[in-house]
Amino acid sequence: MRSREIAGRYAGALYAVAVEDGTVSEVEAELAGLVEGIREVDQFDRFLTHPLIPRERKMELIGEAFPDLSASVANMVGLLIRNRREGYIELIRDEFLEVRSAAEHLARVRVITATEIDDKERSRLTERLEQALGRSVSLETECEEGLLAGARIEVEGRTIDATIRARLSELRQELER
């Protein structure tokens, strides 16, 4: 069985539990925090996936590093460790987002800007995107240091690049012709 299929099964089950408990947004945030926490600590992922480290020690470390995990997320991580699928956590988070988007008919939109977007701008942008896409939008924002101004918007595999860097690159190409 392929990795994405396996991750999809875990994600689907976790989504079903979250819907039943009414904690879908909280579980999504926990998964994001879990993935980010694992990425931030050097060698954490290697520790989790190392076959010679006892499962009990991995469970202890997860409990110490992420003491506020809900029962459903903690149980899923425990199941992953018992089944030696610890390396699937990030893929499960991705699949969870896909399952939620499909079930709730959400458009997942990622906006990368040079500066932070305040709540008013975020609300206005969400509203405009919902009008343009004709469905609810789950907006994720991110700041990128290398951007001078503008924004890059990623929607369902498509990218709209309205950054100054992109415009300067287009201008350079035009001048080189």
% of the chain residues with pLDDT over 90 = 1
Q: C-alpha angle with apex 139: 170 to 121, nearest 5 degrees?
A: 75
Give 154's pLDDT tier (boundaries 50, 70, 90). Answer: confident
Residue 140 has pLDDT above 80, yes or no: no
Question: What is the per-residue pLDDT across 29-55, written as a single tens digit (0 to 9) for each?
Answer: 898 888 888 888 888 888 878 888 888
pLDDT digits (tens, 9 = 90+) for 8-36: 898 888 889 898 888 888 988 898 888 88
Instruction: State the pLDDT at residue 1.
Output: 53
The residue type found at 170 is: E
Mean of per-residue pLDDT scores for the chain: 82
Strand order of the β-sheet with 158-163 is 136-143, 106-113, 150-155, 158-163
Give the 3-state secondary structure of 9-75: HHHHHHHHHHHHHCCHHHHHHHHHHHHHHHHHCCCHHHHHHCCCCCHHHHHHHHHHHCCCCCHHHHH
Q: State pLDDT tens for residues 101-123.
A: 888 887 787 888 777 878 888 88
Structural domains present in the chain: 3-101 (1.10.520.20), 106-176 (3.40.30)
Q: Is the pTM of this model over 0.85?
A: no
Distance in angstroms (rounded) separating the CA atoms of residues 163 and 171: 13
